Amino acid sequence: MCCSVRGAITIEENTKECIWENTELMLSEIINRNSLSAEDIISVVFTATRDIDAAYPAVVLRKMGITEASLICMQEMYVRGSLEMCIRVMVTINTDKAQKDMEHVYLKGAVVLRPDLVKKKTDAVAIDGPAGSGKSTVARLISKELGYIYVDTGAMYRTVGLYCLENGVDLSDDGAVVSALPHVDIRLSFEDGIQRIYMNGRDVTDDIRTQSAADAASKVAAVPEVRAELVRLQKKIAEKNNVVMDGRDIGTNVLPHARTKIYLDARVEERAKRRCNELSEKGISFDYNNIIKEIIERDDYDKKRKVNPLSVAKDAVVIDTTGLPVDQVKNKIMELVKSK
C-alpha cells in the first residue's frame, strides 16, 4: 500500500551547498526513521519558499541513489508572516505500514510548523572500531558517566551465531542462516545501564563470549537479512533511549546522525595482547601468534564484506588507543561529547 511522509527544514543561507546539505539531512532522517530503502520511494515533491533559488533540492536524490522515483520541485505561494528559508517535502512510499505509523520529520526552525509531530530527540554516542580496539570497555564507562544505556551490537550478532552453532546451522550457507533467523528471539535487558542479552528466554550474556561465537558472529554479520533485522532492533532502541552504542557500522549505518561519532583503533600487537590478557584472566590457554593471525583475518573479513563493512565515518574522530590507559581514552571521548 502507499503512504506519505512529510518533512521540512530551514536553511541558514541561500547557497547551493547549504540547500543540498540540509536537503540530504532531511531526507536521510525520513529514510532512517521510517526504515526505508531507495526502492520503497515512489515519488518526491519538494517546495521551497521564494527566498530559496540557488539550487534545486531534488539534485540530492540522485546523489543518495534514489534514481527511480518521480520528482518535482515547486516554489511555494508567498504568505505574509510565513516561515522563511524553508524547504518542504512530501515523500510517497510503498510500505506495509499504516499511514498513522509514519514518522514525519521537521528539523531546525521548521519544528514550529508541526510541533505536535516532532518527537522528543534522543542522544547517541556511536563508537566503532576493529576487534580489540577497546570499544566495549570504553563504551561501558562512557554510558555509566552519561547515564545512558549501553548497547553492545556485537553481542546481538554473537547471539545469532551461537544459535547457529548450537543448532547445527551451516554458517557457510546464507540461506540456512536466513531460515534460522525467525527461530532466534533476541531480547535485551538493561540492568544499571548495562546490557544483558537473552536468546529464546535464556540468558546468554556469558555464553557468547567465546572465540567460536565471535567467529560465527563475523560470518552471520555478512548476511544482509541478518544485518537488516538486527539494525532494525538497534535503531528502535536508539529511538526511545539515550544510548552509547558500539560496533563496526554504527556511525556509518545504524546511527548515521549520531551527535558524537568515535572510531577507536590500535596496533594489531596491542589488540592481541589485550585478547591474551582476557583469556588468561578466564584461565583459557592461548597461543599469541594464533591470536595475531585471528585478529588480522577478522580485520580483513570485516573491512571487505559487501554489506556495511568496517570503515571510518567521514565525521568520526579517530583515536589510537595503543598504549593509552582506559581512563585516558574515556576522558578524551567525554571531552568530545561535552563539546558538541
> pLDDT (tens digit, 0 to 9) for every residue of the chain, 340 residues total?
899 999 999 999 999 999 999 999 999 889 888 888 889 999 999 999 999 999 999 999 988 989 899 999 999 988 888 899 999 999 999 988 888 888 899 988 888 888 777 665 678 999 999 988 999 899 999 998 888 889 989 899 999 999 999 999 999 999 999 999 999 999 888 776 567 899 999 999 989 988 899 889 989 988 999 999 999 989 988 888 889 999 999 999 999 889 899 999 999 999 999 989 888 887 888 899 999 998 999 899 889 888 788 999 989 999 999 999 999 999 999 999 988 6
User: Which of these is catalytic: 114, 202, 209, 232?
Assistant: 114
User: Which of these is catalytic: 3, 33, 106, 275?
Assistant: 106
Domain 124-339, CATH homologous superfamily name and number: P-loop containing nucleotide triphosphate hydrolases (3.40.50.300)
User: Which of these is catalytic: 50, 62, 209, 232?
Assistant: 62
CATH T-level topology, domain 2-117:
60s Ribosomal Protein L30; Chain: A; (3.30.1330)
Chain centroid offset of residue 90 CA: 25
- To the query of whether residue 305 is one of the catalytic residues in this protein, the response is no
How would you list the strands of the sheet with 105-107, edge to edge? Answer: 70-75, 41-48, 86-94, 2-10, 105-107
* Confidence at residue 128, expressed as pLDDT on a 0 to 100 scale: 96
Query: Do 42 and 59 contact (CB within 8 A), yes or no?
Result: no
Crossing angle of helices 288-304 and 268-281, in 10° steps, is 120
User: Which of these is catalytic: 3, 86, 88, 248?
Assistant: 88
* Confidence at residue 330, expressed as pLDDT on a 0 to 100 scale: 95
* Confidence at residue 281, expressed as pLDDT on a 0 to 100 scale: 86
pTM of the model: 0.63
Segments of the chain assigned to CATH 3.30.1330.40 = 2-117
Distance CA 284, CA 276 (A): 9
Residue linked to cell 560465527: 216
* Confidence at residue 63, expressed as pLDDT on a 0 to 100 scale: 86
- To the query of whether residue 6 is one of the catalytic residues in this protein, the response is yes
Phi, psi at residue 191, to the nearest 5°? -115, 115
* Confidence at residue 51, expressed as pLDDT on a 0 to 100 scale: 95
Segments of the chain assigned to CATH 3.40.50.300 = 124-339
Cell numbers given for 313: 565515518
- To the query of whether residue 76 is one of the catalytic residues in this protein, the response is yes
User: Which of these is catalytic: 18, 24, 56, 73?
Assistant: 73
- To the query of whether residue 88 is one of the catalytic residues in this protein, the response is yes
